[in-house]
Amino acid sequence: MSDKPNLMVVDDLDSARQMVKRVLGRSYAVFDFASVAEALPALDRAPFDAIVTDLRMPGIDGIEGLHRFKAKVPEIPVILVTAFATVETAVEAMKAGAFDYLTKPFEPEELEIVVQRAVEHGRLRRENAQLRSALSGEFSVRGIVGKSQAMKDVVSMLERIAPSNVPILIEGASGTGKDLLARAAHAMSSRASGPYVALNMSAIPENLAESELFGHEKGAFTGAEQTRPGFFAEAEGGTLFLDEIGLLPPSLQPKLLRVLQDGEYIPVGSRKARKSDVRIVAATNEDLQRSVREGKFREDLWFRLRVVPLRLPPLRERKEDVPLLVEHLVRKHALRLARPPLLPDAEP
């Protein structure tokens, strides 16, 4: 039996299946099927590490296939391949639980990278990602503590989308833990070994925001005595968390949109575009949809950021989490202060 990871490929076109075999055959044991109906029984016969499936196929399409694969093996990473990618396609795929999606035509290297990430994610999930205690239904994921259904739903969605590269928009009032959620998304992704860079838009003067984000060339403006990389360069290969994204100046909104659409940005004072391999996680405590209606925030940028939104509920909507949070904070600060934690009967 092969020691290579098992990869399932589902496509009605024989040429597409053979292409995947040629690209990935050295590193993976590739088993190909012409339809979802043919592939499903194979999941009962052998363990698979990942699935690559076409979106548009006769009979059962890729989205329905994704649902059926997940019904059999919930933890298996599924990559959707489509020639008709739109924001709506991405939303549908990620909500259905896809690990990621690729747009045809794609480079062989893109396929290799995405499949490698998927297989690694599956391995880490099997080994380490016990998100909930089977006994109590409580969980603590990268500092996110709770047992309420509202927080379980947030964690469940986070687990689905964290491994992919799609942007995340975290919505919630101040103090609900948006930075914790962003850090968790980074830690649970294949970019976890890369940098995590956080930037609060409220902390940057508007006239310096472009330089802070994209960097600048020497002499680009008065005081620019040397070339300086921006936050995008610092976050290369990792995650850039943009807090209070609603305060992004209107002049920079199309430039951030370009990064999300084309993966490129131009430093201040430069004429040459730079490629960016950065996953964007944004957060807001504002009603961005209202800002769009009022003309303060670009609608196309809002759509791009909000491919999969995560709403962090306030504590008043999850009161059952309060005792857990109290216990968590007491233990944390008791350890820091080298003092014994409060006794259980001291809890209010």
pLDDT recorded at residue 129: 43
Does residue 100 surpass a pLDDT of 90?
no
Residue entry with tokens 């292409």 = 19
How far, in whole angstroms, is CA 262 from its chain's centroid?
A: 18
pLDDT recorded at residue 343: 46
Q: What is the pLDDT of residues 196-223, one digit of tens each?
A: 999 999 888 888 889 889 988 887 776 7
| Range scoring the smallest mean pLDDT among 203-217, 252-266, 321-335 | 321-335
Does residue 89 surpass a pLDDT of 80?
no
**Three-class SS string for the chain?**
CCCCCEEEEECCCHHHHHHHHHHHCCCCEEEEECCHHHHCCHHHHCCCCEEEEECCCCCCCHHHHHHHHHHHCCCCCEEEEECCCCHHHHHHHHHCCCCEEEECCCCHHHHHHHHHHHHHHHHHHHHHCCCCCCCCCCEEECCEEECCHHHHHHHHHHHHHCCCCCCEEEECCCCCCHHHHHHHHHHCCCCCCCCEEEEEHHHCCHHHHHHHHHCECCCCCCCCCCCECCHHHHCCCCEEEEECHHHCCCCCHHHHHHHHHHCEECCECCCCCEECCCEEEEEECCCHHHHHHCCCCCHHHHHHHCCEEEECCCHHHCHHHHHHHHHHHHHHHHHHHCCCCCCHHHCC
Q: Which span out of 125-134, 203-212, 273-282, 301-310 was modeled with the highest average pLDDT?
A: 273-282
For residue 331, what are its two tokens? 């233990």
User: Quick one: pLDDT band at residue 159, thresholds 50, 70, 90?
Assistant: confident
Q: Does the pTM of the predicted model rise above 0.85?
A: no
| Domain 6-128 class, CATH top level | alpha beta
User: Quick one: pLDDT band at residue 50, thresholds 50, 70, 90?
Assistant: very high
| Domain 162-315 class, CATH top level | alpha beta
pLDDT recorded at residue 214: 92
Q: What value does the mean pLDDT take over residues 94-119?
A: 86
Say how many CA atoms lie within 13 Å of 88 toward its Cβ: 1
Q: What is the pLDDT of residues 172-187, one digit of tens each?
A: 887 777 888 898 888 8
Q: What value does the mean pLDDT take over residues 24-34?
A: 92
DSSP-assigned beta bridge partners for residue 170: 283, 310
Say how many CA atoms lie within 13 Å of 234 toward its Cβ: 15
pLDDT recorded at residue 322: 65
User: Quick one: pLDDT band at residue 346, thresholds 50, 70, 90?
Assistant: very low
- For the chain, domain boundaries: 6-128, 162-315, 319-346
Nearest to 51 by CA among 98, 3, 14: 98
pLDDT recorded at residue 142: 53
Instruction: Mention every residue, 6+ apart, whose C-beta is less than 8 A from residue 255.
Output: 210, 213, 214, 265, 266
pLDDT recorded at residue 280: 95
Does residue 127 surpass a pLDDT of 60?
no
pLDDT recorded at residue 178: 86
User: Quick one: pLDDT band at residue 131, thresholds 50, 70, 90?
Assistant: very low
Q: Which residue has the higher pLDDT, 195 or 94?
A: 195
What is the distance between the alpha carbons of residues 327 and 132, in angstroms, rounded to a whole number?
17
Residue type present at position 158: L
Does residue 237 surpass a pLDDT of 60?
yes
Nearest to 257 by CA among 306, 206, 307, 300: 300
Fold match flag (6-128 vs 162-315): yes
Percent of the chain with pLDDT over 70: 79
What b/e sequence results for 206-238 when a residue is b if at least 16 CB atoms lie within 10 Å of its CB, and e otherwise? eeebbbbbbbbbeebeeeeeeebebbbbebbeb
pLDDT recorded at residue 311: 87
